[in-house]
Copies of this chain bind each other. A is one copy, B any other.
């Protein structure tokens, strides 16, 4: 075969990671083989190892890319001087556009993190928990200030996060509404459901 094609902005490793995200999404981490990945990239399986250490490295790079982006955004939004509803709306919009833009990575990070190996697994779970707690805290502040219905905040977080990850099926669907319209619909339903 030839060598791995790169436009000049991406290293060969990055090309592999991108293809891996797409493949892991489609087949699942365990079911996807390095030989398939090599095929997609246009190379023999063994050649991949000139660029990466292991299959599991691919998974943890993908997962933490997403996790770090989430944490970074949470930092920003917490720091803003806005009310809870505004913070939640901004967070949702970030999650939705993030899902539309980095679909493969977010999907894999969402569904395949179980296959991370230690210490990455524990680390990832901990980041996930923290993110949800901070999200719930925002909702609880909103409840305290009577901007939001009196509901169980952790439950609300679960609903919101999973509703967003439902975009998965939107992505597969043929009669797509466009991304912006999707976003507005979700905000209407979800924020509308929280507001007092």
Contact = CB atoms under 8 A, between A and B. Distances in A.
A110 to B, nearest CB: 10
Given A151-B188, A188-B151, A193-B189, A166 B162 contact: yes
Given A28-B30, A115-B31, A194-B189, A152 B177 contact: yes
Q: Which of A27, A165, A181, A193 has the most CB of B within 10 A?
A: A193
A181 B162 CA distance: 19
A74 to B, nearest CB: 18
A151 B189 CA distance: 8
27 contacts: A27-B114, A28-B114, A30-B30, A31-B115, A111-B111, A149-B192, A151-B185, A151-B188, A152-B181, A152-B185, A154-B170, A154-B173, A154-B175, A155-B170, A156-B185, A158-B163, A158-B169, A159-B190, A161-B166, A162-B162, A162-B163, A162-B165, A163-B163, A163-B166, A189-B190, A192-B192, A193-B194
Interface of A: 27-28, 30-31, 111, 114-115, 149, 151-152, 154-156, 158-163, 165-170, 173, 175, 177, 181-182, 185-186, 188-194
Nearest to A181: B152
A192 B27 CA distance: 37
Contacts of A27: 114
B28 A189 contact: no
Contact of A190 (B152, B161, B193): B193
Nearest to A175: B154
A10 to B, nearest CB: 29
